[in-house]
Structure 1
Amino acid sequence: MKKKKKGSEVVMIPKQLAEEPLMEDSLPAANEQGSWPEAAEQSLRLMMARVNSVFLGKSEVVSGAFTALLAGGHVLLEDVPGVGKTLLVRAIARVMGGEFRRIQFTSDMLPADVVGGLIWDGKRGELVFRQGPLMANVVLADEINRTPPRTQSALLEAMEERSVTADGQTMRLPQPFMLLATQNPLRDDGTYPLPEAQLDRFMMRLSIGYPSPEDEVHMLEAAPQRLNPELLKPVIIPEEWLRMQRDAQSVHVHSALLAYAVQVVGATRSAAELSLGASPRATRDWIRAAQAAAYVAGRRYVVPDDLKSTAEPVLAHRLVVSDMAAVNGMRAADILNRLIASVPVPAPAGEGGRRR
Structure 2
Amino acid sequence: MLECIHPTYKAVDDQSVHILLPLAYDYQMEGLLHRCECFLISHNLPFLEKVWIADRYKLNRLLVLCLREMRPNSKVDLNGSRYYALSDRVKVLLLERLHGAAAPEEILEPPLDLEPYQRQSDVNFSAVRAKTGRLYYVNPYYMAAWSNVFEDKLCSTSSGVEEMFCPCTHEELKAFLMAIHPPQLRINETNIGPILMSACKMESPALLRKCANLLLSPHTQLSVFVRLSLLDRCFLHEMLPQCLQMVLRPENLIQMTQQTTYDCLSTRAKAAMMDRLGVLLENPGLQTHHCTRCKATNTCGAVTWMCPQCKTYSTDTSLLRNTNTNSVATTTNTGVGGTTVNQQGGYGTAVGTVGGLMNR
What TM-score, normalized by structure 2, do the two folds share? Answer: 0.23
Larger radius of gyration: 2
What TM-score, normalized by structure 1, do the two folds share? Answer: 0.23
Greater strand share, 1 or 2? 1
Comparing both chains, which one has the higher relative contact order based on Cα–Cα distances under 8 Å and sequence gaps of 6 or more? 1
